[in-house]
Amino acid sequence: MSQDSPLAGITVVELGHSVAAPYAGLILAELGARVVKVENPAGGDYARGWGPPFWNDVATSFLCLNRGKEGITVDFTRADDVNALRALIVGQADVVIQNLRPGILEKFDLTPQSLRAEKPELIWCDIGAFGPRGPLSQKPGYDPLAQAATGIMSVTGEGGDRPPVRVGVSLIDMGSGMWTVIGLLASLLGRQATRQGAHISTSLYETGLAWMTVPLAGYEASGEVRRPHGSGIAEIVPYQAFQTSDGWLMIAAGNDNLFRKLCRALGLDGLAADPDFATNPARVRNRERLLRQIAAAVARLTVEGLGQVLDEAGVPNSPLLTVDQVARHPQTEAVGMLAPAEGDDLRLGGIPLTVDGVRPRSRSRAPKLGEHNARWLAQTKDQPLA
């Protein structure tokens, strides 16, 4: 094991498509695991066509979620392919990750029960839509459906008569992939002592409920149904974006001390001493009245000017940047999150952690459809898939 490949020697078979399972596989590949991505030969992963934008005729959505993997195709209508897949799992896999529609793998006896009977040390990971039990367990699901079903969209956006708003990134899908990795890493650690694998299960719905931890706790305690607050949140004020003369600046006065610093910086010292605003619970109760006064004070300043004033005062703040601004920002360059794969110029984001100062990163690009089928065919002839 090395700093940039702590999972070297672990083999993962990914029976996944779209985002959740591929993102779990991506994390493992970045950490040094060998990840074999299994696709349908008739088009492959749906994400290959999720564009534009495309890069070399493949959607960037697919490329950024599948770099560092080997790619094979399995035709489930062919018994030889199914048998070869089973041989790969039983013979070489430490981990299987799957997010296929319920019932597909059962048709071919590719189940955790069957495979773990042959290989007890196998770690099997299911990523479902709504979980294995309950009235919604057989429904298909995608990220925006889970955002809707778990209440995330009810606390996102502006509320009132405004249209519903979803979080603009695949928060649920990618979160489900992360939970899967957490579970399987714990199981890999446990397996060292027990020599037994595990059956890990998560779902988009459960991930959404996890992200709703704070609103759900508030409801259970008070019966209050939280409403959306735009860029703000229900529990802390002021903690949102404010419009300046030339753009928007996010201000996060997350405690009473920061609120006092904000007031001094804006020349609003009287607000900090006002009992209606002196504590966060008071500010939450009097939210609209306070926000109007802060908004009036910042409207005359520029984003840069206000940011400098708040930086000097020690008040956390950030301009609202667009994707192009983020991509070329000096901080993005400094942390080294964007880098190309070998033999490619397309910069893609890495995983957001370093080990002893080294960011684990796979070196190879995403596989072409069936790119490693020659190795796959060799394995069907009882030769090693190396």
CB 310 within 8 A of CB 254: no
pLDDT recorded at residue 344: 87
Rounded CA-CA distance 76/97 in Å is 17
Query: Token pair for residue 236?
Result: 């802390």
Residue 165 falls within a domain, yes or no?
yes
pLDDT recorded at residue 343: 80
pLDDT recorded at residue 1: 53
| pLDDT, tens only, 35-62 | 999 999 999 999 999 999 999 999 999 9
How much is the average pLDDT of 234-256?
97
- Please give the model's pTM, rounded to 2 decimal places: 0.93
Side-chain-side CA neighbours of 142 within 13 Å: the count stands at 7
Which of 295, 319, 343 terminates a domain? The answer is 319
How much is the average pLDDT of 87-110?
94
Rounded CA-CA distance 144/166 in Å is 7
Binned at pLDDT 50, 70 and 90, residue 382 comes out as low
Tokens 């990971």 appear where? 125
Residue 228 falls within a domain, yes or no?
no
* Same-domain status, 29 and 155: yes
pLDDT recorded at residue 333: 96
Rounded CA-CA distance 278/73 in Å is 63
In the predicted structure, residue 102 carries a pLDDT above the cut 70? yes
| pLDDT, tens only, 125-143 | 999 999 999 999 989 999 9
Which of 319, 349, 372 terminates a domain? The answer is 319
**Average model confidence (pLDDT) for the chain?**
94
Kindly report the three-state secondary structure assignment for every residue of the chain. CECCECCCCCEEEEECCCCHHHHHHHHHHHCCCEEEEEECCCCCCHHHHCCCCEECCEEHHHHHHHCCCEEEECCCCCHHHHHHHHHHHHHHCCEEEECCCCCCHHHHCCCHHHHHHHCCCCEEEEEECCCCCCCCCCCCCCHHHHHHHCCHHHHCCCCCCCCCCCCCCCHHHHHHHHHHHHHHHHHHHHHHHHCCCEEEEEEHHHHHHHHCHHHHHHHHHHCCCCCCCCCCCCCCCCEEEEECCCCEEEEECCCHHHHHHHHHHCCCHHHHHCCCCCCHHHHHHCHHHHHHHHHHHHCCCCHHHHHHHHHHHCCCEEECCCHHHHHCCHHHHHHCCEEECCCCCCEEECCCCCECCECCCCCCCCCCCCCCHHHHHHHHCCCCCC
Rounded CA-CA distance 23/16 in Å is 9
In the predicted structure, residue 384 carries a pLDDT above the cut 90? no
In the predicted structure, residue 383 carries a pLDDT above the cut 70? no
* Same-domain status, 300 and 199: no
Residue 226 falls within a domain, yes or no?
no
Which is it for the CA torsion 36, 39, 44, 47, positive or negative? negative
Query: Token pair for residue 94?
Result: 């430490």
* Same-domain status, 101 and 177: yes
CB 177 within 8 A of CB 27: yes
* pLDDT over 70 percentage in the chain: 97
Distances 7 to 4, 27, 224, 348, 367 between C-alpha atoms, Å: 9, 10, 45, 21, 20
* Same-domain status, 157 and 54: yes
* Same-domain status, 41 and 159: yes
Query: Token pair for residue 163?
Result: 């249209």
CATH number at residue 267: 3.30.1540.10
| pLDDT, tens only, 318-328 | 999 999 999 99
Residues 6+ apart with CB under 8 A from 273: none
Give first-to-last CA distance, the chain, whole Å. Answer: 19
How much is the average pLDDT of 11-18?
96
Which of 287, 319, 351 terminates a domain? The answer is 319
55 phi and psi angles, rounded to 5 deg: -135, 115
Residue 94 falls within a domain, yes or no?
yes
Which residue range(s) make up the domain with 302?
239-243+248-319
Is residue 311 among the annotated active site residues?
no
* Same-domain status, 340 and 270: no
Rounded CA-CA distance 266/319 in Å is 17
Residue 327 falls within a domain, yes or no?
no
pLDDT recorded at residue 50: 96
Residue 173 falls within a domain, yes or no?
yes
* Same-domain status, 103 and 183: yes
* Same-domain status, 132 and 104: yes
Domain count, the chain: 2
Residue 385 falls within a domain, yes or no?
no
CATH number at residue 50: 3.40.50.10540
* Same-domain status, 74 and 168: yes
CB 336 within 8 A of CB 358: no
* Same-domain status, 289 and 167: no
* Same-domain status, 45 and 191: yes
* Same-domain status, 102 and 51: yes
Catalytic residue from among 143, 173, 324, 382: 173
| pLDDT, tens only, 154-203 | 999 998 889 999 999 999 999 999 999 999 999 999 999 999 999 999 99
Residue 229 falls within a domain, yes or no?
no
